[in-house]
């Protein structure tokens, strides 16, 4: 029981008399290292024989011999240290306490009570020095029991361990300056881990010997703290092997554990400080509060990790159990649900931990090194990523157990959308953490290589969600020009699948594949933005959510593509020159079955080249064909591609029909030609993607070609049929020409920079170029460059379109020897602006438009140089050439046109 102070009076005490060693006089605590018996912590000697060294090292400035201190001050300065177990403070009264408040505290007659572990209840009072509550006996004036802290999860007040500073492993590099020449390899240490030789104490850490001293101020009855010292320092000369902080010399605090041996320990603000530099009581309590909080965080994280491993083992046991299928699925589903619930709890705990680290940053960093603080922040965020990955993995696996990943049944479709929506939300949260680690905390993306989720999982979730949302947007009765939302979503799913399989494609072809995926992804988004939706704000919201996801994917493609475009040795072939035809084996899916090999190939359909994914097979005639199925809706019929004229094509089948029905169909086609042209011009004004407009017109032209082919095979043929065939062929040609003209006009937009479009215009003979500036000096000293500028113009109207800049290190460098990343296309408005002017605007914080550069490769540069040379000699100006081919019959011409689509 704590002594009660007198009511009044002054007590005189001496501040220079040896203070009693409370750490050694507490009853109930064994005075030994790490719980071993028979070995006591030596006390600091109160009387010694003074030596010459002691007189110098222990010199204290003379002070008055006695000082008067008020009793109240003495009472407040005493640190009450509990020496009784918490159970001694349990109340035994049978009185019924009121219900606890939100902080788990009950108040009765002005006294406060809390519940503690093992079913006990104790009275508490606030300890003003620490800010924590202490357990107290009813007869005490000052609480002497353990410090307690409320645990929100268990709703119990847990004891605070005030004697467990953090420890860390010791490296030979850290201790190199403290090594001695002694060899104790053949000597066994005593039970306290110490070695004794010539009156000195030593420890052996990783085969090296170090001299140590007892640090009595830092030691407690629960553990002893030693100090590694250098033998040549004065501090190591103490005859009693006791550490005296006022003596000069380096030291390293260590403590012994029977399981892990000697480890370093942090004693910031606790003890071991030089005389006159002791920490303030407020610092000590702050250190205690931070230490307790961080230990609680680490304890909770360890408990969550152990629980997660336990639940994973339970799930593996349930999934591998033998028995009736329904029972096995039910047990596995319950095990997955348990894992999901635990993941949510773990994320909640990690969120609280990170919040504490952020809000208490200044306090934590007073007692923790900067590197340790940063490592802990990174460690917690990585654990968050792992928890999200586990949550997504469990959700996908459980959903797969219940049925197909994409359930297209109209009644169950909303549920599928909700499930995939939750998975997508978890993916976004996980990605935000990953981006934060990379951008803010400078963590290498390679450290995420061991993720539970594969890229295919991520892209499948996004594509599946887009498809299910799109199915709910379909309006088959729409009279618009756009395809159905589900058709667009199917195309997007194929794009994401190809991107997920990019690792199976040779790296030299990555730019071509990424460029094609980006173009198709942009075209899909443009169509989504123009869909005719059913009335209702929910449909407009769904479309905005879908286009937002597609835009995110576009940014991913652009980021990967820029990595290649900024390489000095990047490939010079453009997409239309590279052969895309690769076989790969997809990863094993959750069903445990190995999918068959897939083939990524390029094929032209409706006038536009696209990447497709299919499975190869051999026909009865031993010809290779590729079956392309809907990756997200296997119920849809597959498309077959065969090889013709050096590339894959999709042959068209035309069923036999009667002549009158064909004539009626041809008339309908002809009546719609003007409407098709007006619709295409409208889409051009709305700035739709040119591929979409070309596809729209090519599709209508292809339908006319099918009708022509059937009319040519119909019997009996007559003059009216021949005239109708010519009209259909002329109309089909008109639609294709209109599509090509629209494409060319869009490609000539001088406000858009695109190297592929420029190459297309050059190959079609629709642009010219001429050099307007030659080797202009730019920069000074080592930044000196020489600049050539070419003006690209419309070959028909001669209107200026863009400027092509080429930077050279020397004034006499050959044209093709421009600097790395020193050739780019620029708009006319920004041609005179460079990176330096942009930086000046940014530093001045003035509003500005970032300079847009589209980098040029050597092949494109050579084409520009050739155009410029031709413009100087008009007789040699290149024209768009059409290969000479032998004349073909009308039917052969139609078939050839169909095969080239």
What residues form DSSP beta bridges with 136?
Answer: 123
* In contact, 226 and 197? CB cutoff 8 Å: no
Look over the chain and give the mean of its residue pLDDT values, rounded to a whole number: 79
Residue 770's pLDDT is 95
Q: How many angstroms separate the CA atoms of 249 and 232, rounded?
A: 9
Residue 529 domain flag: no
Residue 887 domain flag: no
Q: Which of 442-451, 575-584, 693-702, 777-786 has the highest mean pLDDT?
A: 693-702
Residue 592's pLDDT is 54
Top pLDDT among 151 and 50 is at 151
Q: Are residues 301 and 375 in the same domain?
A: yes
Top pLDDT among 796 and 447 is at 796
Burial class of 547 by CB neighbour count within 10 A (0 to 12, 13 to 18, 19+): middle
Last-in-domain residue among 681, 714, 747: 747
Tokens of 849: 């438009």
- The arithmetic mean of pLDDT across residues 79-94, rounded, is 72
- The arithmetic mean of pLDDT across residues 51-68, rounded, is 35
pTM for this predicted structure:
0.64
Residue 147 domain flag: no
* pLDDT tens digits for range 462-496: 898 999 999 999 887 766 678 899 999 989 998 99
Q: Are residues 759 and 856 in the same domain?
A: yes
Tokens of 449: 């290589």
Residue 450's pLDDT is 53
The string of DSSP letters for 693-716 reads HHHHHHHHHHHHHHHHHHHHH-SS
Last-in-domain residue among 595, 614, 648: 648
Residue 700's pLDDT is 93
Q: Are residues 292 and 438 in the same domain?
A: yes
Top pLDDT among 420 and 10 is at 420
Lowest mean pLDDT among 108-112, 126-130, 591-595: 591-595
Q: How many angstroms separate the CA atoms of 576 and 755, rounded?
A: 12
Residue 12 domain flag: no
pLDDT band per the 50, 70, 90 thresholds, residue 880: very low
Tally of domains in the chain: 4
Residue 231's pLDDT is 93
Residue 543 domain flag: no
Q: Are residues 776 and 634 in the same domain?
A: no
Residue 67 domain flag: no
Residue 130's pLDDT is 66
Q: Are residues 774 and 715 in the same domain?
A: no
Domain containing 724 equals 659-747
List all residues 6 or more positions away from 35 whose beta carbon is below 8 Å from its beta carbon. 258
Residue 214 domain flag: no
* pLDDT tens digits for range 635-656: 677 788 887 666 677 776 667 7
* In contact, 808 and 785? CB cutoff 8 Å: yes
Burial class of 887 by CB neighbour count within 10 A (0 to 12, 13 to 18, 19+): exposed
* pLDDT tens digits for range 307-333: 999 999 999 999 888 888 889 999 999
Q: Are residues 314 and 430 in the same domain?
A: yes
Q: In what order do the strands lie in the sheet with 200-205?
A: 167-168, 261-265, 251-257, 225-229, 208-214, 200-205, 195-197
3 state DSSP class of 512: helix
Q: How many angstroms separate the CA atoms of 233 and 242, rounded?
A: 14
Backbone phi, psi, residue 111, to 5°: -100, 150
Residue 361 domain flag: yes
* Count of CA atoms in the C-beta half-sphere (13 A) of 71: 9
Q: Are residues 634 and 727 in the same domain?
A: no
Percent of the chain scoring above 70 in pLDDT: 76
Q: Are residues 666 and 779 in the same domain?
A: no
Q: Are residues 313 and 398 in the same domain?
A: yes
3 state DSSP class of 66: coil
Is the pLDDT at 881 greater than 50, yes or no? no
Q: Are residues 296 and 436 in the same domain?
A: yes
Q: Are residues 799 and 816 in the same domain?
A: yes
Q: Are residues 743 and 759 in the same domain?
A: no
Q: How many angstroms separate the CA atoms of 422 and 410, rounded?
A: 20
- Here the contacts of 62-70 (C-beta below 8 Å, separation 24 or greater) are 63/15, 63/16, 65/14, 65/16, 66/12, 66/13, 66/14, 66/15, 67/12, 67/13, 67/14, 67/15, 68/10, 68/12, 69/11, 69/12, 69/13, 70/10, 70/11
Residue 372's pLDDT is 86
Return the closest-CA partner of residue 53 out of 326, 278, 244.
Answer: 244
Q: How many angstroms separate the CA atoms of 452 and 454, rounded?
A: 7
């Amino acid at each position: 029981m704590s002594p009660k102070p007198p009511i009044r009076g002054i007590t005189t005490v001496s501040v220079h008399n040896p203070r009693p060693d409370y750490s050694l006089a507490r009853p109930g605590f064994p005075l030994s290292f790490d719980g071993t018996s028979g070995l006591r912590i030596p006390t600091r000697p109160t009387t010694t024989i003074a030596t010459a060294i002691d007189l110098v090292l222990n010199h204290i400035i003379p002070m008055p011999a006695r000082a008067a201190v008020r009793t109240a001050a003495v009472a407040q300065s005493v640190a009450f240290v509990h020496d009784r177990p918490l159970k001694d403070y349990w109340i035994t009264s049978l009185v019924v306490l009121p219900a606890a408040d939100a902080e788990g505290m009950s108040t009765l007659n002005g006294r406060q009570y809390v519940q503690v572990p093992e079913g006990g209840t104790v009275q508490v009072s606030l300890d003003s020095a620490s800010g924590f509550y202490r357990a107290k006996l009813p007869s005490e004036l000052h609480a002497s029991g353990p410090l307690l802290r409320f645990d929100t999860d268990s709703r119990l007040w847990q004891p605070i361990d005030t004697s467990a500073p953090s420890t860390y492993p010791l490296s030979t590099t850290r201790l190199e300056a403290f090594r001695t020449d002694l060899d104790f390899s053949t000597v066994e240490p005593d039970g306290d881990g110490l070695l004794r030789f010539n009156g000195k104490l030593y420890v052996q850490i990783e085969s090296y010997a170090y001299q140590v001293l007892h640090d009595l101020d830092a030691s407690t009855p629960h553990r002893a703290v030693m100090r590694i010292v250098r033998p040549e320092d004065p501090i190591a000369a103490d005859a009693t092997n006791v550490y005296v902080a006022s003596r000069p010399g380096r030291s390293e605090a260590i403590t012994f554990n029977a399981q892990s041996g000697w480890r370093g320990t942090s004693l910031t603000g606790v003890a071991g400080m030089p005389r006159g530099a002791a920490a303030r009581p407020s610092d000590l309590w702050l250190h205690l509060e931070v230490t307790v909080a961080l230990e609680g965080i680490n304890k909770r994280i360890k408990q969550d990790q152990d629980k997660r491993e336990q639940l994973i083992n339970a799930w593996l046991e349930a999934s591998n159990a033998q028995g009736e299928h329904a029972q096995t699925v039910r047990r596995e589903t319950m095990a997955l649900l348990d894992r999901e619930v635990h993941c949510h709890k773990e994320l909640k705990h990690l969120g609280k931990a990170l919040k504490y680290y952020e809000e208490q940053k200044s306090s934590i960093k007073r007692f923790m090194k900067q590197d340790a603080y940063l490592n802990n922040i990174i460690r917690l965020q990585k654990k968050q990523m792992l928890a999200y990955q586990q949550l997504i993995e469990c959700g996908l696996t459980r959903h797969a157990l219940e049925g197909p990943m994409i359930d297209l049944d109209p009644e169950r479709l909303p549920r599928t959308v909700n499930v995939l929506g939750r998975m997508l939300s978890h993916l976004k949260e996980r990605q935000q953490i990953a981006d934060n680690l990379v951008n803010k905390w400078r963590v290498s993306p390679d450290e995420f290589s061991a993720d539970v989720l594969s890229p295919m999982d991520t892209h499948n979730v996004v594509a599946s969600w887009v498809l299910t949302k799109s199915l709910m947007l379909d309006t088959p009765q729409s009279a618009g020009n756009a395809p159905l939302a589900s058709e667009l979503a199917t195309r997007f799913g194929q794009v994401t699948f190809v991107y997920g399989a990019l690792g199976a494609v040779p790296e030299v072809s990555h730019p071509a594949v990424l460029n094609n995926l980006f173009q198709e992804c942009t075209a899909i988004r443009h169509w989504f933005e123009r869909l005719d939706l059913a009335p209702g704000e929910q449909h407009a919201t769904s479309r905005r959510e879908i286009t937002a996801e597609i835009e995110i994917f576009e940014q991913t493609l652009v980021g990967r593509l820029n990595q290649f475009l900024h390489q000095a040795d990047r490939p010079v072939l453009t997409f239309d020159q590279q052969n895309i035809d690769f076989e790969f084996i997809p990863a094993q899916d959750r069903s445990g079955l190995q999918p068959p090999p897939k083939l990524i190939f390029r094929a032209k359909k409706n006038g536009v080249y696209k990447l497709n994914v299919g499975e190869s097979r051999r026909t009865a005639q031993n010809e290779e064909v590729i079956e392309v199925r809907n990756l997200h809706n296997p119920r849809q019929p597959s498309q077959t591609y065969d090889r013709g004229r050096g590339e894959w094509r999709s042959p068209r089948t035309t069923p036999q029909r009667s002549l009158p029905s064909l004539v009626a169909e041809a008339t309908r086609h002809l009546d719609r030609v003007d409407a098709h042209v007006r619709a295409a011009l409208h889409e051009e004004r709305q700035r739709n993607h040119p591929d979409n407009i070309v596809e729209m017109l090519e599709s209508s032209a292809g339908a006319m070609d099918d009708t022509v082919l059937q009319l040519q095979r119909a019997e009996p043929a007559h003059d009216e049929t021949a005239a109708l065939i010519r009209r259909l062929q002329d109309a089909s040609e008109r639609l294709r020409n209109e599509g090509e003209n629209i494409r060319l006009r869009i490609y000539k937009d001088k406000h858009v920079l695109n190297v592929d479009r420029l190459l297309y215009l050059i190959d079609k003979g629709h642009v010219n170029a001429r050099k307007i500036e030659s080797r202009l000096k730019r920069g000074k000293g080592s930044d000196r460059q020489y600049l050539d500028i070419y003006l690209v113009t419309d070959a028909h109207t001669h209107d200026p379109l863009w400027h092509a800049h080429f930077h050279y290190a020397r004034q006499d460098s050959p044209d093709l020897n421009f600097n790395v990343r020193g050739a780019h296309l620029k708009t006319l408005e920004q041609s005179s602006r460079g990176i330096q002017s942009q930086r000046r605007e940014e530093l001045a914080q003035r509003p500005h438009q970032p300079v847009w550069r589209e980098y040029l490769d050597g092949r494109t540069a050579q084409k520009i140089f050739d155009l410029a040379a031709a413009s100087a000699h008009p007789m040699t100006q290149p024209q768009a050439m059409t290969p000479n081919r032998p004349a073909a019959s009308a039917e052969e011409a139609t078939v050839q046109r169909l095969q080239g689509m």
